[in-house]
Structure 1
Amino acid sequence: MAASSFASWMLSQEARALLTRLERIKSFAMSETMVPAATLSMEAQAAVERYLVQGRRELRTQLHQYITWVEGPTGRWAPPEEAQRRFTFLRLRFNVVLSHFDIFSEALSQRSEAESGVWLAGLDVLSRDALELPGYYDVPPVICYLARGPGAAIRRARTRLPGGGANPAALIRIPRERMIGSSLASSLFHEVGHQGAALLDLVASMRTALRGLTHDTPEETSAFGLWERWISEVIADVWSMARVGVTSTVGLMGVVSLPRPFVFRLNTEDPHPVPWIRVKLSCELGAQLFPHPQWARLARLWEEFYPVRGAPERSRETLALLEASLPRFVRFLLEHRPLALRGHTLAEVLKTQERQPARLGALYRQWRRKRSGIQESPPSLVFAVIGQARADGVLSPEEESEVLAGLLKYWALRSTLDASETCASLSKSRALASALQAPALPRNSVI
């Protein structure tokens, strides 16, 4: 039976209404207000706009084709249910386009916040530096934004977005409570580690290697089975540790300082290790990567915060097995040579030898005398140095926050000026010098 004229007309009207609403979705460059230093990198903005424009263009074409069909003789004579089925598909696609827009809109709208927007641009620069691994992959665009809660998260670049399509940029959600201190890097670099691990296919490589290990006892077999289950989160913790050292452990302790039942809870469905053993793993990673007494002190402190004697018996037994396996498991992590790293270990390519505690301390003392050194250093190294200074007791939380807030602004502005090639043919150094001064490190400790 042919469709009624009313059905054809109504669906045509609905399709045209969708089309008008689609046209009201504007480019972020036309709708977001922010100071230039808070904007995304040109690479990130181009990637996001290109992806969203392509989605709108495809839907617009489909809507025009539908309107032509439903208003033409074929559509008018088609059964109403067929015309409705086609329209419903287009409406679902319209909602997918909106959901993709909203994913990035949430992140970009924060760039209009006073100060926070510029800090976020600085975090973009910091994240990119933490992800850099020259010669191994092309770094995707990175966009940081703030959210409630203690935990961070990432929507990795090149993964599938809801409704289809590959994500054009890594979206990293940072806990607002961590702004601003060096332990921010612990959460941020953990999420960066997830992106790096995906680009290098480290999870599959390490899982395969773990399954090939032989064990001396059933208890060790059981412990390594749990480590295999948690390996994706463990690799991200390794990345964070390699980049910022003790800052990673101190920051992790802050994130998982929860009521006792949560700290000892063993949930085999959770991809994260039990919080209690996760901190002990971080200390063992630090001890093997960066030998120093600080790791033993932090491990003892964690045991004092959360004495294992108060945990349920089953949890105590499992934690004891995991703790006994830590030295061998960490050696495995640090000695593994994935195919993607061409015979090197992750610690080698992340150049952990350059971030030993003694060198970080020496850099801090040097930067206090000559602050230009902090300007010229990689942002991730700066966070490692500042975090080590906090752990050593030579930098107060108040001084740390002031210095890092200034540095995030500096990196954001430097990135903006670099991207625009400055203006009026000024040299890069003259433009930067006239725009701002790098924050000075305190000369005297208040601790």
Structure 2
Amino acid sequence: MYGDLSATWLLEQETRAMLTRLALVEPFVLQETCVAAAAVSPAALSGIEQHLIAGRQEVRERAEELLGWLRGPGATAPAPEQQRRFWMLRLAFQNALAQFDLFSEVITQRSEQDNGVLLSGLDVAAAEALLLPDKYFDAPPVVCSLHRGLGGAIRRARTRLPGGGDNPVALIRIPRERMIGYGIASSLVHEVGHQAAALLGLVECLRARLRARKSRLRSTWQLWDRWLGEIVADFWSIARIGIGSTLGLIGLVSLPRGFVFRPPDEDPHPIPWLRVLLSCAIGDRLYPDPQWNRLAKLWQSMYPITDILPEQSAVLDELRASMPELISILVGARPQRLRGRTLGEVVRNPQLQREALLELFAHWRTEPDQVAMAPPTLAFAVLGQARASGLLSPERESGMLRRLITKWAVDSALATARAGGRVETGMYVGQPIIWSDQPDHPQRLHAAV
């Protein structure tokens, strides 16, 4: 047999071996070991499984096609052509496995003790953070996971995956070092803001308005243009959870001065020193209160603008001077999907005024069971405001958040089970609507959604 070796024979053997390995890749529903409260939503799991199964089926069909070709007209084809077709198949096989591994890491984390359940609870919070008071877009399921590093990240739904195909879910990655405190809410809702901006076409709408201002202060508005994606995500986070968003941002960018005052470059994130001041200014525009100015002054006392180059100081001065106009553009944006309404009208929540949040916190102290009935973003906002006002210690906040996020996971798992039993349950992006239907809450939904 050694003398009968040929490219045709060898590549047929390799293709058949590849098909054998492909058959060993099983759906996640046969591999999950997590408790029910830690599981991803059925909508998210179904979307992931269907995408991966379709990818594996495509590889299988291409492999069968190659085998047919090798046993037919390809048997006499030149060896380089046979090899070219094989490595193209092998590349498709590797892409299918790479996508499987991408989602496998997310699913496997649900088996981690404590963390799996917390991630499921964050799925619920992320779904509600994506919710607007009217149906302006069809939102995708959201799945959260943990990763190393300082900042969060998102692989948005309906964007191209490595190897091809559209991502069926929004994958949000939360830094382990943010578990658990107001920083987790800040990171989570910021990443949700990226998905919301894409669904609404916010960046494109705002960019068109910024271009008209480049001719006046070209360099200044070019920088705002470059940073627009992150600014919009910050805006969404502040609008949904209030001052806790800015406090979480401060915790994230509290780093050596060289980083905080880094010169403008190709980084899509604003200069950290300026980003915090912009966050305070946005908060004051949406929810006016002296606390925002006090927080901005505190930040500047921690990082005084000294010992930096004169030209860098001039850039910061120009950017700060243009912040009010930038915020007006953000608040007044009218993307087509909002059907004539402005972004500020849609996302501003009257319940996030400081006094209203503190009044609600005082009520929850006497009736602690009420906190679990609030929408997750409102709960984050209340606890963040209480922390900012010195009414809630970091230790107590961490304990409250852990219990609250766990309850969201448990309630969601039970509501999902009821929905499977054909009990009427409101759903949004694959998550049961477990938060209370408050008439005065702008994010309220009925089961008909």
TM-score normalised to structure 2 length: 0.91
SS at match of 1:183: helix
> How far off is 1:225 after superposition?
2.4
> How far off is 1:190 after superposition?
0.9
- Give the structure 2 partner of residue 374 of structure 1: 371
Deviations 1:231-256 (A, max 9, x none): 11110010000001100110001111
Aligned residues: 422
Alpha-carbon distance in structure 1 between the residues aligned to 2:318 and 2:282? 17
Residue identity in the other structure for 1:33: T
Checking the alignment, whether the CA contact within 8 Å between 2:137 and 2:337 is kept in structure 1 is: no
Alpha-carbon distance in structure 1 between the residues aligned to 2:341 and 2:421? 46
Shift of the 214–180 alpha-carbon distance from structure 1 to 2, 3 Å rule, reads: closer
- Give the structure 2 partner of residue 193 of structure 1: 193
- Give the structure 2 partner of residue 18 of structure 1: 18
Task: Summarize the alignment of residues 349-364 of structure 1 with structure 2, pairs less than 5 Å apart.
Answer: 349-364=346-361
Shift of the 100–262 alpha-carbon distance from structure 1 to 2, 3 Å rule, reads: same
Shift of the 425–129 alpha-carbon distance from structure 1 to 2, 3 Å rule, reads: closer
> How far off is 1:58 after superposition?
1.0
Checking the alignment, whether the CA contact within 8 Å between 1:128 and 1:142 is kept in structure 2 is: yes
> How far off is 1:120 after superposition?
0.2
Checking the alignment, whether the CA contact within 8 Å between 1:40 and 1:143 is kept in structure 2 is: yes
- Give the structure 1 partner of residue 326 of structure 2: 329
Checking the alignment, whether the CA contact within 8 Å between 1:265 and 1:315 is kept in structure 2 is: no
Alpha-carbon distance in structure 2 between the residues aligned to 1:67 and 1:23? 16
SS at match of 2:6: helix
> How far off is 1:125 after superposition?
0.4
Determine if the alignment matches structure 1 residue 85 to structure 2 residue 84: yes
SS at match of 2:173: strand
Determine if the alignment matches structure 1 residue 111 to structure 2 residue 105: no
- Give the structure 2 partner of residue 183 of structure 1: 183
- The farther-off stretch of 309-318 and 58-67 is 309-318
Alpha-carbon distance in structure 2 between the residues aligned to 1:112 and 1:143? 14
Residue of 268, 275, 280 corresponding to 2:277: 280
Checking the alignment, whether the CA contact within 8 Å between 2:127 and 2:142 is kept in structure 1 is: yes
Shift of the 424–337 alpha-carbon distance from structure 1 to 2, 3 Å rule, reads: closer
Checking the alignment, whether the CA contact within 8 Å between 1:200 and 1:340 is kept in structure 2 is: yes
> How far off is 1:310 after superposition?
2.2
Residue of 253, 256, 263 corresponding to 1:266: 263
Alpha-carbon distance in structure 2 between the residues aligned to 1:297 and 1:55? 54
Task: Summarize the alignment of residues 203-214 of structure 1 with structure 2, pairs less than 5 Å apart.
Answer: 203-213=203-213
Task: Summarize the alignment of residues 281-296 of structure 1 with structure 2, pairs less than 5 Å apart.
Answer: 281-296=278-293
- Give the structure 2 partner of residue 442 of structure 1: none
Residue identity in the other structure for 2:108: S
- Give the structure 1 partner of residue 75 of structure 2: 76
SS at match of 1:403: helix
Residue identity in the other structure for 1:87: F
Determine if the alignment matches structure 1 residue 66 to structure 2 residue 85: no
Residue identity in the other structure for 1:409: T
Alpha-carbon distance in structure 2 between the residues aligned to 1:423 and 1:155? 29
Checking the alignment, whether the CA contact within 8 Å between 2:274 and 2:316 is kept in structure 1 is: yes
- Give the structure 1 partner of residue 238 of structure 2: 241
- Give the structure 2 partner of residue 443 of structure 1: none
Task: Summarize the alignment of residues 367-446 of structure 1 with structure 2, pairs less than 5 Å apart.
Answer: 367-421=364-418
- Give the structure 2 partner of residue 126 of structure 1: 125
- Give the structure 2 partner of residue 95 of structure 1: 94
> How far off is 1:317 after superposition?
1.2
Alpha-carbon distance in structure 2 between the residues aligned to 1:427 and 1:369? 32
SS at match of 2:331: helix
Determine if the alignment matches structure 1 residue 167 to structure 2 residue 167: yes
Alpha-carbon distance in structure 2 between the residues aligned to 1:385 and 1:318? 36
SS at match of 1:160: coil
Alpha-carbon distance in structure 2 between the residues aligned to 1:423 and 1:97? 31
Residue identity in the other structure for 1:6: S
Alpha-carbon distance in structure 2 between the residues aligned to 1:424 and 1:85? 52
- Give the structure 1 partner of residue 32 of structure 2: 32
Residue identity in the other structure for 2:103: F
Deviations 1:293-319 (A, max 9, x none): 111111111111111112222221111
Residue identity in the other structure for 1:308: I
> How far off is 1:426 after superposition?
10
Residue of 337, 359, 368 corresponding to 1:340: 337
> How far off is 1:427 after superposition?
11
- Give the structure 2 partner of residue 305 of structure 1: 302
- Give the structure 1 partner of residue 441 of structure 2: none
> How far off is 1:31 after superposition?
1.3
Deviations 1:1-39 (A, max 9, x none): xxx862111000100111111111111111121111000
Checking the alignment, whether the CA contact within 8 Å between 1:242 and 1:350 is kept in structure 2 is: yes
Deviations 1:363-388 (A, max 9, x none): 11111122232122111110011100
- Extract unaligned runs of 5+ from structure 1: 429-437, 439-447
> How far off is 1:423 after superposition?
9.4
Residue identity in the other structure for 1:360: L
Alpha-carbon distance in structure 2 between the residues aligned to 1:182 and 1:145? 17
- Give the structure 1 partner of residue 138 of structure 2: 138
Checking the alignment, whether the CA contact within 8 Å between 1:161 and 1:167 is kept in structure 2 is: yes
Task: Summarize the alignment of residues 212-223 of structure 1 with structure 2, pairs less than 5 Å apart.
Answer: 212-213=212-213, 218=216, 220-223=217-220
Alpha-carbon distance in structure 1 between the residues aligned to 2:236 and 2:420? 38
SS at match of 1:146: strand
TM-score normalised to structure 1 length: 0.91
